[in-house]
Structure 1
Amino acid sequence: MKESVAYPDLQWSAHDHVPRPSLGKFNASIPVPVSGHWMRRLLAFIGPGYMVSVGYMDPGNWATDLAGGSKFGYMLLSVILLSNLMAILLQALAARLGIATGLDLAQACRNTYSRPVNILLWLACEMAIIACDLAEVIGTAIALNLLFGIPLVWGAVITAADVFLILLLMRYGFRWLEAFVIALMTIIFACFGIQMLLAQPAISDVLGGFLPQAEVVTNPAALYLAIGIIGATVMPHNLYLHSSIVQTRAYARTEEGRRQGIRWAVTDSTIALMLALFVNAAILITAATVFHQAGRTDVEEIDQAYHLLSPMLGVGIASILFAVALLASGINSTVTATLAGQIIMEGFLHLRMPDWARRLLTRGLAIIPVIVVTSLYGESGTAKLLVLSQVVLSMQLPFAVIPLVRFVSSRKLMGTFVIGRGVAVLAWIIASLIVGLNLKLLIEFFWS
């Protein structure tokens, strides 16, 4: 039997199935003021954007930022800025889809594509989440090793305990989960803010780095790193995640209510992603100031940067701040991966799995290769595994970006909330660019 439609003004075809609300009991669970100062409404919407922005500063992004800063100074800051602007648009489209239709991206795929295609998309998403989880396990294990001397193998095992922390927070409501994420983001922001003050980069050089330079394209090594930065910008599971968690707000499920919801949700994600821009830029600026200007252009790995920061800056706390930020980044990323896994499984398969079982399953699949590789090859093998995880993520990107842009361009699905022709053209250009660059990375990875 067809379920009731929460959005009667949208035109659904006869075969469409309107699933249960995304995220179940958390859907429309956070009150939104209908009157009063605009700041109150913005504060009610703050949260989803920060949870999404976590994916743009996870341990998987650190290596490219470190390598870019140590090898080429501030030159690739323009690439970080460009990639962040592209991410802002795509995440805004994901939020628009969720609020305008009442469907998350996984549910929209299930309603649109055949069962075989949906199974393929679901498997691709699961691979992306496992790959993302792999990067988080490695990053957290490295941070535990650097801070407390815990062996990487045991650090990877310890990361499985985060399932209990997440379950505890979820019991108190979605706002608690968001507060936890924002608190850890604040720690990351503060650590790199202090790091920047210690490094004392020349402001004129930093500002100059944000201007596009021809050498980014003409220098093959710089171009390769630039492609890596852009290719790692959009995490596939983030698009599924954002389209769902924006629906936790209890905005009026009317045309005007959804229109206001889109406005505030996009504002929230734009501000949060600008903070992510600061973190990624700060990593590159620190590497450029401390390593590149001292002639150390070979710094590419996280533990290498940790061991060099304090001696080269002459401040003992510098390396500690770096490792604390890495630990906060790794822990934070696990929250978004867990939620994304739940959203994807329920959206594609209508299959519910207990949160603890879901978390232990994906974390177990990520821990096993880390333990095996670390036992056999040590830290160098772990670094290569981190790179491989980003390659796997790149392979899944088209399966999220292309459906998203197609859906928000469809008047049948979006109704009056369909994006304009100019935005649609820009979105397809960005999608094509990201997918094309990722394909180039894949080809070079496997055939170089």
Structure 2
Amino acid sequence: MHYSTLIQGLLGHNIFQMTANLSIASPQAKTDVLVCLVAGSVPYATRDSPNWTALSTSFNLRLQYNPAVITIPETENQVSKSITCAAAAGLNVQPKGGGHSYASHSTGGQHGSLIIDMEKFSEISVNQTTFIAKIGAGQRLGNVAEALYEQGRRALPHGTCPGAGVAGHALHGGYGYASRKWGLALDHIIALDVVLANGSLVHTTNSTYADVFWAMKGAGESFGVATYLYFQTMQAPDSVVYFVSDLAAQMHSTSTSDAVDILARGFELLQEFSLTSPLLTPNITFGIHVDSDGTFFLHGWCMDCNAAVFASTVLPEMVAGYPGHVDSVTGLSWIQALTELADPGPLEQPLGSRYTFHDTFHVKSLATNDDISLSTVVIKAYFAEVLANQGKGPFFSIINIYGGPGSAINTISANSSHTQAVALFG
């Protein structure tokens, strides 16, 4: 599948708060699982524990579920015991890495699950011969980026949110600003340590437990609990050109109908640029951001590019359909570029329950193909909806253009688990 664009939107705060005071886990199931966990020396928390709120609160407060128990294993054997104890008690199992699931799957996606909080699995180490990184399933993207760079100027393609967990992100795809050059985070996984449903631990690769490896890369925790992920890292670029073009003037300078036509035409030219222009190299990734406050800009980066050449040659072609654009082009280091995308937060993030950022939102996403680009009718409808709801938010929408000629996302074979990735954003 050839992905051209990825459209995301976060709509509204305080739309709906799901309350959950009851659990589907029976009292006997809770008793049985706790007896089993104690016998197996597995650390755990329940509703009576002082750290329960921090451990159990979902990232998306709109969807809050009540686990039956949360284990905090420190060893793979304790992960195994968590699974077998849950199975014996008839409880569903859900591993939790960063806990950023927009639909709150990391807290079970329903009430009464046993959650395995992986925060103790925090190792990040890079083999200095192979440059393969071993990363614990409890780590977060910002910490991974910093540690890889510190251990030999290494890097991976991944999303922009530094607090997102590496395991859920990579096992379900992992789009990011380096993806047109390097592909998805998932494409760089070369091995996994996985605890299966029967409690056994396996090391999976393309040739060892290959069926498990294929299934985990795209469907993750549906088949097992990853404890460590092994990535083939890349040499970080020496520099990154970070660019922003403010396009908001086109939203306010004329009537709504004229504005829709102008905005749609500008995006059509941008889309055409992404599909046909020889100026677009795999080093370049970009997208547009629009929100309910009247903000509208294009931004992105170009890895190992000349800032002056980019500013005078490439960027003007990208925004040619938007008169009145105001441009900014800055040369940054790799870590500076990642920090810019992570703004306003830092790259370094606390693990597990010490991470306290939460939000209340509804989100939708859509991926389109290179050979089925967005039509004029669709683009106009999109901008008409955006303009009609100015000041009625908060909401924002992002369209990232990841496809086009030379995109590494489009070079993976059709039978690869890459095509099975279900989470298309990071």
Question: Aligning the two structures, in what range does the TM-score lie when normalised by the shorter sequence?
Answer: under 0.3
State the TM-score, normalizing by the size of structure 2: 0.23
Q: From the CA coordinates, give the structure whose radius of gyration is larger.
A: 2
| Higher RCO, 1 vs 2 (CA within 8 Å, ≥6 residues apart) | 1
Structure with the largest fraction of strand: 2
Structure with the largest fraction of helix: 1
